[in-house]
Structure 1
Amino acid sequence: MGDIAVVEEALKRISSHKGILGVIIVNGDGIPIRSTFENSVTVQYAGLVSHLTYKARSAVKQLNHGEPEDELQFLRIRSKKHEILIAPDFDKAHEYQLVIVQNPSTD
């Protein structure tokens, strides 16, 4: 199964879960390559999440004194209206981030 087929399958599977508002896949440059949101929302989330993920990775490294085997695995942000789940390296090649936005009251 090619990379595109894997991405499409992941989007379909994740989007089908109850409470999921949208799913975005962002490349290493912070550019959204696939999304279930409209374009303006996708671009906003992609830019902000990429910046946040960069900062979180940096914080993990600093807090652990630069130990190479310890790195950011997952980031979860919850507000009253939304929960944002970020898998910074959800693919084996570590080229893409998976961003899921869901309604926190449905979990």
Structure 2
Amino acid sequence: MSEVEETLERVKVQPGVEGYVICNRQGQVLRRLPSMSQAQADIYAQKMSGLSKKARGVVRDLNPKNELRYLRIRAKKHEVLVAYDQEFLVIVIQRWTPAQA
């Protein structure tokens, strides 16, 4: 099993993970969690591709020596983690519940 396959296996067995998408920089889905629909994977890929490009621009504007590597977005029910690479985006969607005080 390749290193990529091993990493994907580790990701999908983590508690709360509802899906993952690997896409190229143009937002084309290359791989997704099999239980995730293609339409849903396409939406995540398109939206996160555009958002990560904008976030990368902001980081570069603040300090040209810095580079965006990871992006984390938390909503009411989900958390989206995006790993930004030169050629690919890895998007992980997981359930999120606030800590009880």
Query: Which TM-score band (shorter chain)?
Result: 0.7 to 0.9
CA distance in 1, matches of 2:28, 2:4: 15
Alignment of 1:16-35 (within 5 A): 16-35=13-32
In the alignment, is the contact (CA less than 8 A) between 1:19 and 1:106 conserved in 2? no
Q: TM-score, normalised to structure 1's length? A: 0.82
Counterpart position of 2:81: 85
Alignment of 1:18-57 (within 5 A): 18-36=15-33, 37-57=36-56
CA RMSD across the alignment: 1.7
Percent of aligned pairs with the same amino acid: 38
Counterpart position of 1:70: 66
Give the counterpart letter for 1:48 in structure 2: K
CA distance in 1, matches of 2:18, 2:98: 11
Q: C-alpha deviations, 1:6-64, integer Å up to 9, x for none?
A: 33222111001000000111112211100012101000000000000000000111122
Structure holding more strand per residue: 2
Q: C-alpha deviations, 1:56-90, integer Å up to 9, x for none?
A: 000111122xx2x311121100011100000112x
Give the counterpart letter for 2:6 in structure 1: E
Unmatched 5+ residue regions in structure 1? none
Q: How many pairs does the alignment contain?
A: 97
Give the counterpart letter for 1:87 in structure 2: A
Q: Which runs of 4+ in 1 moved over 4 A?
A: none
Unmatched 5+ residue regions in structure 2? none
